[in-house]
Every structure is written in structure tokens, then in C-alpha cells.
Amino acid sequence: MNNQSPFWNSLSWFAGICFLAIGFINTFWGNDLLLGIGLLILAFIYFPPVTTYVKRISGFYIPGFVKIILAAVLLWIVLGVGELPAKIDLMLESF
């Protein structure tokens, strides 16, 4: 995966924002505080500036295919175990 490509950068930003939102929902609605905090932390690996910073500081880089596999696993977790649709309903009811 070419990290300089506008398509992959846009997709990475989108994934990061989605996982941040899902992390906030899991943290503040329902009883999955640890899952929410874990998602909030993992969401940052999708943001291109964070990836660039970590690579510059540590030399460690997460390949694109690993990010794709991680995204699929995280979606499986939040939709199945995390019951995301039920938590979204709870969030909407509280407003």
C-alpha cells in the first residue's frame, strides 16, 4: 500500500475517524469502558500524521495490509461482541 496515495490517505483518515467515534460511543454509553478506550487508542494508528510521526521517532511502521486486517477484526468485534447498534440507540435516546 502506497501511503502517499490520496486514496489510501483518505481511507486511512476515514477509518481513524470512524474508530474514534466508535470508541467514544463504547466508552460513554453502555458498559464497555475498556473496549472503548482500546478503540480510541487503536484509532490513532490510522491517522497518517501519527503513522509518519511514529515511523520517524521509532522506525516502526505498520504495513497497510495489517491495518486492513485490524480494521476488519475491530469491526467484527464492535458489531458482534460490542453490540454497537444497541449502544447507538442508547446514545440517541439520551439526547
Question: Which pLDDT does position 82 carry in this prediction?
Answer: 67
Q: Residue 83 falls within a domain, yes or no?
A: yes
Q: Residue 62 falls within a domain, yes or no?
A: yes
Q: Is the pLDDT of residue 7 over 50?
A: yes
- Domains of the chain: total: 1
Structural domain span for residue 11: 6-94
Q: Residue 80 falls within a domain, yes or no?
A: yes
Q: Residue 1 falls within a domain, yes or no?
A: no
pLDDT in tens, 42-69: 999 999 999 889 899 998 888 889 999 9
For the chain, the average pLDDT equals 86
Q: Residue 11 falls within a domain, yes or no?
A: yes
- What confidence tier does 81 reach under pLDDT thresholds 50, 70, 90? confident
Q: Residue 10 falls within a domain, yes or no?
A: yes
Rounded to whole angstroms, how far apart are CA atoms 51 and 80? 28
Q: Residue 81 falls within a domain, yes or no?
A: yes
Relative orientation angle of helices 84-94 and 6-28, to the nearest 10 degrees: 70
**C-beta of residue 1 within 8 angstroms of C-beta of residue 63:** yes
